[in-house]
Amino acid sequence: MTHTSAGEAADFARKLPKAELHLHVEGSLEPEMMFELARRNGVTLPYASVEDVRRAYVFSDLQSFLDIYYAGCRVLMKEQDFYDLTWAYLTRAAAQGVRHAEIFFDAQTHTDRGVAFETVVSGIYRALEDGRTRLSITSGLILCFLRHLKFKDVYHRAREAGLLAVAHAGEEGPPEYVWEALDVLKVRRIDHGVRCVEDERLVGRLVEEQIPLTVCPLSNVKLRVFPNLKSHNLKQLLDCSLLVTVNSDDPAYFGGYVADNLQASAAALDLSREQQLQLARNSFVASFLSDESKRAYLQELDRFAAQASLKTIS
Ligand code: ZN
């Protein structure tokens, strides 16, 4: 591959209009901001420098990542901190072609430390409002519950209140977790779900009901769900006609934002531009946007595709 075509491939992945559906806002805390907020709030970090933090980002599994992730969260204390964190994500996302983002936030991690729920939500919400007006990124918020709490009841109450449910399943855990998420928690979307391919009947159900999977390739490699990107099953999932999307999960920790994930996957798995377009199309279809908003974004995507193919012909 020549330098020009690698550059063009990166440019295509970045400019492709897309939605991001699996992003933990706390996981977008870059080491530089971690230090800045630690200084601002007088929090002592267990790291000497930004480089020291980056060196710690080699994980053996999910738990080793969570240990560092929770340590990082300790610098988030005030409303402005949550604003700054969310705004930094949105500006990066805008540069990566994100037009719509559905963002997880981990309220318990903060309320457990004595930070008020309102502080967290107001900061994030204010940044999302600015994202709408200044960056033209629409957005939604997804409240996270930690796995050790009683799930079924919480999900039931959330659905009763008219909220839409999603769940992380089928990443490190087996396909049975995905069945459980569908049948017990009655989720509308599966986060990760890559291990569904181990169960043919499950794949059949996910395809038939077009239940979206929010796949995070760089996260999967960092947390050793796959040894490397070349062995990732993203292309296989697409070939099964699953409604698969590409996302960044915890980009500050896993080495890339959403377009970086797309570009790295495209390079490792030799994804065509049509397949990348399909992934972008899926991201809007799988979102919780209204049908009208979905249509508008899909039209924008069609215009982009038409322009892109014109460019390759000329
Ligand atoms: Zn996640």
Domain boundaries, the chain: 21-149, 161-314
What is the pairing mode between strands 98-105 and 213-215? unpaired
Helix or strand (DSSP H, E) at 104: strand 98-105
From the CA of 71, how far away is ligand 1's center (Å)?
17
The model carries a pTM of 0.94
Architecture of domain 161-314: Alpha-Beta Barrel (3.20)
Task: Assess contact for 13 and 217: CB atoms under 8 A.
Answer: no
Catalytic: which of 160, 171, 176, 292? 171
Quote the CA–CA distance of 190 and 147 in Å, as a whole number.
Answer: 15
Task: Assess contact for 156 and 146: CB atoms under 8 A.
Answer: no
Which tokens in the block code for residue 229?
A: 């990107």
From the CA of 31, how far away is ligand 1's center (Å)?
19
Buried b / exposed e over 110-121, threshold 16 CB at 10 Å, is beeeebeeebbb
Q: What's residue 149's pLDDT?
A: 55
Task: Establish whether 171 is a catalytic residue.
Answer: yes
Q: What's residue 311's pLDDT?
A: 61
- Whether 21-149 and 161-314 share one fold: the answer is yes
- Residue 91's SS3 state is helix
Chain centroid, CA 203 distance in Å: 22
Q: What's residue 145's pLDDT?
A: 79
From the CA of 169, how far away is ligand 1's center (Å)?
9
User: Which fold, 21-149?
Assistant: TIM Barrel (3.20.20)
**pLDDT, averaged across the chain:** 92
Task: Assess contact for 242 and 203: CB atoms under 8 A.
Answer: yes
Q: Considering Cα of 289, then 291, then 293, then 296, what sign does the dihedral take?
A: positive
pLDDT-based confidence at residue 74 (cuts at 50, 70, 90): very high
Nearest-CA neighbor of 203 among 247, 236, 226?
A: 236
Task: Assess contact for 137 and 289: CB atoms under 8 A.
Answer: no
HSE of 52, CA atoms in CB hemisphere, 13 A: 8
Of all residues in the chain, the percent with pLDDT exceeding 70 is 96
The one-character DSSP state at 152 is H
From the CA of 81, how far away is ligand 1's center (Å)?
21
Counts for the chain of helices (H) and strands (E), in that order: 16, 7
Rounded mean pLDDT, 266-279: 96
Residue 309 — φ and ψ, nearest 5°? -75, -35
From the CA of 206, how far away is ligand 1's center (Å)?
19
Nearest-CA neighbor of 206 among 226, 184, 189, 192?
A: 189
From the CA of 146, how far away is ligand 1's center (Å)?
11
**Which residues face 101 on adjacent strands?**
20, 139
pLDDT digits (tens, 9 = 90+) for 140-156: 999 987 765 577 888 88
